[in-house]
Homo-oligomer: A and B are copies of this chain.
Amino acid sequence: MSKDSAEGASTRTGIKAVAALAGVGIASVSRVLSGQPGSSPQLTQRVLDAARQLGYAPNALAQGLRRRATRSIGFVGSDITNPLIASIVSGAEGVLSLAGFSVLLTNSGGVASVDAERIEVLLQRQVDGLIVLPALEDDPATLAALRNTKAPVVLIDRTLPEDIVAHYVLSDHYRGVGDAARHLLASGHRRIGLVVGRDVRPTRERIRAVEDAFDGLGVARDLLVHRGMLSAEHGEAALEEMLAGDAPPSAVILGGNQLLEGALRVIHRRGLRLGIDLSLVCCDDVPLSRFHQPPIATVMRDPDLLGKRAAELLLGQLETPSAVEPVCLPTWFEPRASCGTWSEKIPTKTAAKIPGTRRRRAAASTDLVRE
């Protein structure tokens, strides 16, 4: 038993030190500092004074243990180094920290087994909820880990088997990529290359979108799909391979922003003129892509919003659990010179980055003219 009958000021500033200094019971301190009603003004003041005097801050571990809630959430993503993911995390963190939640961040490096392991660690840490961007949609270990918890889970851009209880924030890839494909087809392209990642929702949606674009315009499907990692290396290899084939596509859609750097290496190496020798569309914005010569046409979305919505959804579930429809956020095609005879100038106004402006969808697919 510690020397508790003493003045208490020397103790490692816990709640009982405050109680001792204020000359009140430990429970009263807790009540006052937790903002619970039912304490006299005097007592409240005494507690507050003592707490301030001691520089007391409650131990969140003990609170969490007792309350069975930590006000922390876990985020597991593949790679925060990808600006897309970074924006999602940033959006989520903003909402969560405003709500008094902390974020435990984890990178899986896109390895499914790591996803599973990290989810488990976060659950051990008693996070109140999880935002996950798993590498795969059907990894048994990941699914098991997810099934293993009562904490609400929000998935971003992934759909899981029905038996998993989870909530979804998705992107309408179908729309943006479809618009892009229609633009290309309407510009006269007849053979389109599509570089995609593993078999997850965005990949499936993008393929479907391009296929439907062919069908919708009555053009014979001629789609080269290249699957692999969404890395610069794979972008380089994929494009190289496509172009080296017998009948290379005249237009390529990159289903991931990391692919762009690799693709550009190929393009510069081969001395291809984008928009003339080859049309290129990238999915998801990359910082300087609009300053490239020519600017890179892009299927845009608002990743920050994705993170925000995921966080809001999660907070909502913590408040009142309920079945919720998946949230699906817009995606829009921004035609730029890399995809053909498009004369858009390089942006010169700050306005180009103002959120409100960004959200609008390009009217591209409607005001096209067949060549």
Contact = CB atoms under 8 A, between A and B. Distances in A.
Interface of A: 55, 57-62, 64-65, 70, 72, 75, 79-81, 83, 86-87, 89-90, 93-94, 97, 102-107, 118, 120-126, 148, 232-233, 236, 260-262, 264-265, 268-269, 286-289, 291-293, 304, 346-350, 352-353
A352 B346 CA distance: 27
A54 B94 CA distance: 37
A125 B73 CA distance: 13
A103 B102 contact: no
A124 B90 contact: no
A81 B83 contact: yes
A86 B94 contact: no
Copies in the complex: 2
B103 A104 contact: yes
Given A97-B107, A233-B350, 11 more contacts: A57-B123, A59-B124, A59-B126, A60-B124, A60-B125, A60-B126, A62-B65, A86-B86, A93-B105, A261-B287, A264-B291
Q: Which of A57, A94, A265 gathers most chain B CB within 10 Å?
A: A265
Contacts of A122: 102
Given A261-B287, A288-B292, A348-B268, A102 B106 contact: yes
Contacts of A80: 80, 86, 89-90, 93
Interface of A, helix, strand, loop or mixed by DSSP: helix
Give me the 10 closest cross-chain CB pairs, A-B, nearest first: A269-B348, A288-B288, A105-B105, A293-B293, A60-B125, A268-B346, A86-B86, A61-B65, A60-B124, A81-B90
Contacts of A348: 265, 268-269
28 contacts: A55-B148, A57-B124, A58-B124, A59-B65, A59-B126, A60-B125, A61-B70, A62-B65, A65-B65, A80-B89, A80-B93, A81-B83, A81-B86, A97-B107, A102-B104, A102-B121, A103-B104, A103-B105, A260-B288, A261-B288, A264-B291, A265-B350, A268-B291, A268-B346, A268-B347, A287-B288, A288-B289, A292-B292
A40 B204 CA distance: 53
A90 B353 CA distance: 26
A92 to B, nearest CB: 10
Nearest to A260: B288
A293 B274 CA distance: 13
Contacts of A289: 288
Contacts of A352: 265
A263 to B, nearest CB: 10
Q: Which of A236, A269, A288 gathers most chain B CB within 10 Å?
A: A288
A232 B353 contact: yes
Contact of A287 (B64, B123, B287): B287
Nearest to A126: B61
A60 B123 CA distance: 9
Contacts of A72: 104, 125
Contacts of A268: 291, 346-348
Contacts of A97: 106-107, 118
A230 to B, nearest CB: 14
Contacts of A232: 353
A120 B102 CA distance: 12
Contact of A64 (B61, B106, B349): B61
